[in-house]
Amino acid sequence: MNIILFGPPGAGKGTQAAKLVDEYNLPHLSTGNIFRAAIKNETPVGLKAKSFIDAGELVPDQVVVEIVAEALEEDTYSNGCIFDGFPRTVFQAESLDKILNEKGTGKAQVIALTVPEEELVRRVLSRGEGRSDDTEESLKNRLKVYQKETAPVLAYYADRGQAKIIEGTGDVNDIFARIKSALS
């Protein structure tokens, strides 16, 4: 089983990912973690990504896909995983479909958490993670980028019947129950 957790910053993807890991015994594939590992281990694709990051540029889709594909070759992910932070563009989604098809682990099911913007702002500003970009102004900018660049990925999967929209407000356990229901 492959699950893509989808939603804007502050939607609760990290919280729900942890619950899904426990419930379905699937590994959590966080692009942030695999990027850091590829860079630290100085893999060829990790070094490629580092060159863009060091230059203050976004890592191109093709390099992101290469890093994810490299990670998915590990035995840890042989029965699927929970994707968090990937795919973020339609190109990445199309590439992931090809990778999963080649692996034979099945199509990804997308769980899209919807949360009103004012709730997202409240959550992000109160979560206390100390991220330098956890300000109301930067969050609103991140939400604009999400709507412009990432939201089309949801439409891509919805058109293929692979997306479930889940109300992401309320009690954490109630949200998780809605997710489990959508996955069954």
Instruction: Please check whether residue 65 lies inside any domain of the structure.
Output: no
pLDDT at residue 154, rounded to an integer: 93
pLDDT at position 134, please? 66
For 3-60, what is each residue's pLDDT tens digit?
Answer: 999 888 888 888 899 999 999 999 999 887 888 888 899 989 888 888 888 887 778 8
| pLDDT tens-digit series, residues 89-147 | 999 999 999 999 998 888 999 999 999 888 888 888 776 555 566 677 777 777 887 88
The domain containing residue 120 runs over which residues?
2-29+80-183
Q: How do residues 66-92 score in pLDDT, each as one tens digit?
A: 999 989 999 999 889 999 889 989 999
Residue 148: band (very low, low, confident or very high) from pLDDT cuts 50, 70, 90 = confident
What is the C-alpha separation between 76 and 26, in angstroms, rounded?
9
Report if residue 56 sits inside a domain.
Answer: no
| Residues assigned a catalytic role | 13, 88, 127, 131, 142
Answer whether 38's CB lies under 8 Å from 13's CB.
no
Q: What is the pLDDT of residue 141?
A: 79
In a domain, 51, yes or no: no
Residue with tokens 């979560």: 127
pLDDT on residue 21: 94
Q: Residue 184 has what pLDDT?
A: 87
pLDDT recorded at residue 133:
61
pLDDT digits (tens, 9 = 90+) for 44-66: 988 888 888 888 777 889 999 99
CATH of the domain at 160: 3.40.50.300
Number of structural domains found in the chain:
1
Residue type (1 letter), 109: Q
Q: In this structure, what DSSP letter does residue 70 have? A: H
* Residue 114 placed within a domain: yes
Residue carrying the six token digits 């709507």: 147
**Do the domain assignments include residue 59?**
no
What is the rounded end-to-end Cα distance, in angstroms, of the chain? 11
DSSP 8-class letter at 11: S
Give the Cα separation of 131 and 158 in Å (integer). Answer: 32
Q: Identity (one letter) of the amino acid at 175?
A: I
Q: Where are the alpha helices (DSSP H) in the chain?
A: 13-24, 31-40, 44-54, 61-72, 90-103, 117-126, 136-145, 151-159, 172-183
d(CA 143, CA 158): 20
Q: Cα–Cα distance between 111 and 179 in angstroms, integer? A: 7
For residue 55, is it within any domain? Answer: no
Query: Quick one: pLDDT at residue 183?
Result: 93
Q: What pLDDT score does 91 carry?
A: 95
pLDDT of residue 132: 61
